[in-house]
Amino acid sequence: MSLPARDRELVQIVNASMADAARRAGKRLACRPGCTECCRGVFAIDALDAERLAAGMEQLRAAQPDVAAAIEARAREWIADRAANFPGDLLTGLLGESEEDQERFDEFAESAPDTFCPALDPATGLCQVYEWRPMICRLFGPPTRREPDGPLGVCELCFVGVSDEEIAVCEMEVPHALHEQILGELPDQRETVIAYALLRR
């Protein structure tokens, strides 16, 4: 499975930006291996994230088949447990694009705030597809803007008791334009959820 050529560039830029933001944040950034705050809840991922996860799982099946099988088992269980209320295509996992579809997904997500991601190893609290994780996962922790003109958000575990000015100094730069450009090159840009992306072949 091949990814768009510039996805590697996007990931490298985001990783470097995260490292820079983490350096500026220092101890104010609570993110550590085993912290699973960003692995809870139900959220949509875009088509580029889904392609990257599928490509990662392909590599994992070849290199660590036991790990890949465990992830797939958790993904199938995740889907089976939520099939009755899943607000998308049950076969493909693709989500609708209308306003009504978005409202249905929001209700679905709100009904399972403590759901853990199937890529999370329950024994270690570590992501088993970390190298290929979605952008929303890569942007969690430091102060970031999920949209170019959106509000500055930060993990509730980080920057506790710190002023807005200090938070702003640690903002992580996000290459939104590059992300949108690469996403726009994909033939199908509908969103899905991680569980379905992990099972894609």
Whole-number percent of the chain with pLDDT over 70: 100
List, for residues 143-176, the tens digit of each pLDDT value.
Answer: 999 888 899 999 889 999 999 999 999 999 999 9
Domain boundaries, the chain: 7-199
Residues 6+ apart with CB under 8 A from 145: 151, 152, 153, 171, 174
Average pLDDT, the chain: 94
- Of the candidates 28, 37, 17, 13, the residue with the CA atom closest to the CA atom of residue 167: 28
- Of the candidates 85, 104, 80, the residue with the CA atom closest to the CA atom of residue 196: 80
List, for residues 97-128, the tens digit of each pLDDT value.
Answer: 999 999 999 999 998 878 899 999 999 999 99
